[in-house]
Amino acid sequence: MVTQPPFVLHRWKWLIACLVVLLIYLLIIVAYAENIPYADDLAVLSSLYDIQHAPNWYLKLRILFNFHNEHRIAIPRLIAIGIYYIQHRHINIMWWIIIGNISIFLLLYLYFKAGFINQRVKRFLPVLFFVLQPMHCELMYWGMASLQNIGVIVLSSLSFYYLFQSKNNYLALLVAVLAVFTSANGLFTFIVGIALLIYRKDWPSSIIWLVIGLLSGFLYWNGFIIGKYSGDGFGESLELVRFLITFISLTGGVVYTQSFPLFSFALGFILLLFISISVYYIINSQSVNSDSSKLFFVACLAFVLLTIAAISLGRHPSNILSGSRYKLYPALVLALTYILLEDRVKENQYIFKSILSFSMLFWVVSYAHYTTRFSTHSRLLFAHFYNWKYSGILDVPSRYSEKYYSERWHKFYQDGQYIPPQKIIEKCQKIVAKVNEQAIFKTSYYFNNKDINIDPVELPIHEYYAVHKAEQKTTIYPLITNNFYKSILTPSKVKYSASINSSYWVKSAEESLLIIPMD
């Protein structure tokens, strides 16, 4: 008798493909997550210190719910506090990053359970390709940003799931309130939920959601002062044309390039057209009230689009599209548009194969283009730590108190509650030795408004830091290049440069700027 060859791998190939996409994303997170606070991480770290040392519970709660820009980030702060105590009273930013990014797996689970549980796994693969890629790389190495931005998307989607899938109105309300106190756009959970409940003519639930939503909004905005707490673009006058351009461009922001910015606008326009047609047919469908999964996905998409609209207020398209943390929203637009059109897609294998091929190409290109940013950010984090430890200088926006953040970070460090990575300490010691040995190159730089621009210098491919010595202090900054390649046969040379905020450096135009190569 002729035995049949094993077909186990063939039968499970789509599941294996999904697991590979998940695993690669997770490995990138773990590989580059570091225990060094970055930007807004310092605000959470400082509030954690203040909560810990507040004399009573009233002050602790006030600090917990304090504004950070226009956001009351109580839930990210609570997660940071929980990690602090689980880690035996130690600060570990790495776990902020990992937990914030792992929560995106819960979002994908909700998508799968709501729309793909009775379908073949391969139908879900384009969703993974669209979402689990490093285009939103800032969220993949920035603890506070991942806890807030990914967290509010997960909580709003979970609220919609309980509301439309599980029919658990009270649990949906509780999660909606948690979303509000994760990020300001969490308030959109109530707006979307109320609108769809009214559409379904569920008047009792609509009234309950309206009352709780108004109460949450009042508690949220009570005490808010524009200018004192608000970030960029908040409270500015609305320029309708610029807003529409920014909104449409960010909706299609997955294809943004500085050379061809119209690509993002064109894709955004096409996506919004498809979304409008899809939602029109869904809303006018006779079975929409019985097909709760469609309402769930419409709610999720509406939340993402409202968030994109809020981000677009008072901002220029290039400023928004250059920030990678916002790229998660257009990626979700792509994924949710595919899900809403999936009924049509599965009727035509050619269309599905085309979408699968496009999504896989999108995934590969994203990794090829954005992966280098992780190593660049690692060098930036190192410089950030070095400048804080050796010169007491932090690269933070001027509206925040540099001294306030630096002191609280230093107190955790002194108390042994913040332990920097050993490899970072060793690297700092190498920098100090090289500076003292004067084994360095000199280069020129010039001031342009508030920036210091280092003239491009051609050097062999290596890791370099610009060093500025003045007023008995030393600050460093990593040099970067857009040509990260290595020749197999011969050492290549590329041009390195940097543009640095001058407030980050000790102000002295007379001192020379030096370059240190790392071993």
DSSP per-residue codes, 464-492: EEEEEEETTEEEEEE-B-S-----SSS--
Q: Which two tokens stand for residue 234?
A: 């908040």
Query: Which residues make Cβ contacts (< 8 Å) with residue 233, sequence separation at least 6?
Result: 313, 314, 315
Residue 511 CA to residue 87 CA, distance in Å, equals 44
Interval 389-417 mean pLDDT: 82
CB crowding 362-397: b at 16 or more within 10 Å, else e: bbeebeeebeebbeebbbbbbbbbbbbbbbebbbbe
Closest CA to 318 of 268, 259, 277: 259
Interval 406-425 mean pLDDT: 92
Q: Are strands 513-517 and 464-470 parallel, antiparallel or unpaired?
A: antiparallel
| pLDDT score of 437 more than 90 | no
Closest CA to 301 of 103, 127, 174: 127
Task: Provide the pLDDT for residue 438.
Answer: 59
Residue 316 CA to residue 104 CA, distance in Å, equals 28
Residue 221 CA to residue 214 CA, distance in Å, equals 11
Lowest mean pLDDT among 214-223, 267-276, 326-335: 267-276
Residue 44 CA to residue 39 CA, distance in Å, equals 10
Interval 425-448 mean pLDDT: 76
DSSP per-residue codes, 348-399: -HHHHHHHHHHHHHHHHHHHHHHTHHHHHHHHHHHHHHHHHHHH------TT
Please tell me the number of Cα atoms within 13 Å of 240 on its side-chain side.
0
First-to-last alpha carbon distance for the chain, in angstroms, is 64
Query: Which residues make Cβ contacts (< 8 Å) with residue 173, sequence separation at least 6?
Result: 159, 208, 209, 212
Query: Which residues make Cβ contacts (< 8 Å) with residue 186, sequence separation at least 6?
Result: 152, 155, 156, 176, 178, 179, 180
CB crowding 281-314: b at 16 or more within 10 Å, else e: ebeeeeebeeebbbbbbbbbbbbbbbbbbbbbbb
| pLDDT score of 488 more than 50 | no
Closest CA to 394 of 38, 32, 34: 38
Q: Is 316 exposed, middle or buried (0-12, 13-18, 19+ CB in 10 A)?
A: middle
**Residue 248 or 10, more confident:** 248
Task: Provide the pLDDT for residue 484.
Answer: 45
Cα 512 to chain centroid distance, Å, stands at 37
Query: Which residues make Cβ contacts (< 8 Å) with residue 228, sequence separation at least 6?
Result: none
Interval 435-454 mean pLDDT: 69
Query: Which residues make Cβ contacts (< 8 Å) with residue 271, sequence separation at least 6?
Result: 251, 252, 333, 334, 337
**Per-residue confidence band for 321, with pLDDT thresholds at 50, 70 and 90:** confident
Closest CA to 424 of 381, 371, 475, 376: 381
To the nearest 10°, report the CA torsion of 342, 347, 353, 359. -10
Interval 106-125 mean pLDDT: 89
The angle formed by the CA atoms of residues 169, 175 and 181, to the nearest 5 degrees, is: 140
**Residue 285 or 304, more confident:** 304
Query: Which residues make Cβ contacts (< 8 Å) with residue 399, sequence separation at least 6?
Result: none
| pLDDT score of 466 more than 50 | yes
**Per-residue confidence band for 79, with pLDDT thresholds at 50, 70 and 90:** very high
pLDDT in tens, 350-385: 888 898 999 999 999 999 888 888 888 898 899 889
To the nearest 10°, report the CA torsion of 423, 425, 429, 430. 20
Residue 362 CA to residue 329 CA, distance in Å, equals 15
At residue 348, what are phi and psi to the nearest 5 degrees? -135, 110
pLDDT in tens, 157-203: 999 999 988 888 899 999 999 999 999 999 999 999 999 999 888 89
Q: Which two tokens stand for residue 33?
A: 């997550």
Q: Which two tokens stand for residue 424?
A: 């970072």
DSSP per-residue codes, 287-306: TTTT-HHHHHHHHHHHHHHH
Interval 85-95 mean pLDDT: 93
Specify the pTM: 0.90
Residue 190 CA to residue 187 CA, distance in Å, equals 6
At residue 439, what are phi and psi to the nearest 5 degrees? -85, 70
| pLDDT score of 296 more than 90 | yes
Task: Provide the pLDDT for residue 150.
Answer: 96
Helix spans in 222-261 (H): 240-251
pLDDT in tens, 226-258: 766 665 555 554 678 888 888 988 888 888 665
Is residue 518 a contact partner of residue 464, using CB atoms and an 8 Å limit? Answer: yes
Task: Provide the pLDDT for residue 233.
Answer: 53
